[in-house]
Chains A and B, each alone.
Chain A
């Protein structure tokens, strides 16, 4: 059974970089046809796609966040993970961040439980 687990700091200062890691277990991150990425949800609000990356390097980002976002995949030592870096954060970046598998960059079929990140000094 595929499982995704997010981890990272729960508090980030304004102007700094938000960095999160998603540990993937139960399947290969190199599985054909599946991208890996991030979605966020500000408290009490809706969902916003951040971006998705394929093991070959193909990457798609939300145009509204593209200038600040980097998503990378790590397949070293048979331990798979998805990393998110979001630069120059502000209070508007406060949200629950979800890691998710994307089937063909069309829909999200597996989600992590999410991790709350607060941007505050």
Chain B
């Protein structure tokens, strides 16, 4: 299963709303997670199971979707949200975990 993220780059101002897309080549049910990666750091889990915020993640981050189309929304951008965002899915037969190519958010 291939995950396609769009856009590749998103340039917005503080306080604006960011909408990131992740499309799967086949249905992944709700086995979809989102990560944030800042330069020189490991990725950080934001959202799991398509819409569940991970522990300690601010409420401005939300996930939605199921099947093949998923969205990560940042409701009001903060300067520290500048990062690359990756989606990731789990597929069966064989069990495989794959990542999308990433969306860079520039604030």
Q: Using CB atoms and an 8 Å cutoff, list the residues of chain A in contact with chain B.
A: 46-49, 52, 60, 62-63, 98, 102-103, 105-109, 111-114
Contact = CB atoms under 8 A, between A and B. Distances in A.
A46 B90 CA distance: 17
B39 to A, nearest CB: 11
A46 B86 contact: yes
Contacts, number: 57
B37 to A, nearest CB: 8
A46 B42 contact: no
B44 interface: yes
> What DSSP secondary structure best describes chain A's contact surface?
strand
11 contacts: A46-B99, A46-B102, A49-B99, A105-B95, A106-B48, A107-B33, A107-B49, A108-B35, A108-B43, A109-B54, A113-B42
B31 interface: yes
A46 B43 contact: no
**Leading 7 A-B pairs by shortest Cβ distance:** A107-B33, A111-B42, A49-B97, A47-B99, A107-B48, A60-B95, A106-B90
Contacts of B90: 105-107
B51 interface: no
Chain B contact patch, size range:
20 to 34
Contacts of A49: 96-99
Given A105-B97, A106-B90, 19 more contacts: A47-B86, A47-B99, A49-B97, A60-B96, A98-B42, A98-B43, A103-B48, A105-B90, A105-B95, A106-B49, A107-B31, A107-B33, A107-B48, A107-B90, A108-B33, A108-B45, A109-B45, A111-B44, A114-B42
A107 B88 contact: yes
